[in-house]
Amino acid sequence: MITEDGVRLWAERSGAGEPLVLCHGGPGLGDMFEDLAALLDDRATVIRWDQRGCGRSERCAGPWTTDRFAADLHAVRHHFGLDGMTPLGHSWGAQLALSHTPSSTRSG
């Protein structure tokens, strides 16, 4: 998927049910939730993604701000057509999940 500022992000959907978007730690780490997603596949639609500059997503020059990463999370939500979702994060990903506002007007 491509963000509105042209950065390519890796993302994958599996399972069925209410959407759960997993946000990895870092910045600098990549998706670490493959095993967790497999455990949840029969309970939720699980979205895994690599944040900008991390894992399988495009290396880029940033910006490296909470607002930028929250906009990327919104872009992931938009890409998969999710009206609602539960973001779940580890470490920095938890901060990112808390920074995401469902009624966000960010483009993506």
Q: Band of the pLDDT at 107, cuts 50, 70, 90?
A: very low
- What CATH fold (topology level) applies to the domain 11-99? Rossmann fold (3.40.50)
Q: What percent of the chain has pLDDT over 90?
A: 81
Q: Band of the pLDDT at 27, cuts 50, 70, 90?
A: confident
Residue 64 contacts residue 96 (beta carbons within 8 Å): no
Instruction: Specify the pLDDT at position 63.
Output: 84
CA 18/CA 25 separation, integer angstroms:
23
**Average model confidence (pLDDT) for the chain?**
90
Mean pLDDT of the 26-53 span: 94
Q: Nearest-CA neighbor of 54 among 26, 76, 77?
A: 26
The pTM for the full model equals 0.89
CA 98/CA 89 separation, integer angstroms:
9
CA distances 34 to 45, 99, 104, Å, are 13, 23, 28
Four-point Cα dihedral 43, 45, 48, 49, nearest 10: -160
- Show me where the domains of the chain are located: 11-99
* pLDDT > 70? residue 53: yes
* pLDDT > 90? residue 28: no
Instruction: Specify the pLDDT at position 26.
Output: 86
CA 48/CA 11 separation, integer angstroms:
6
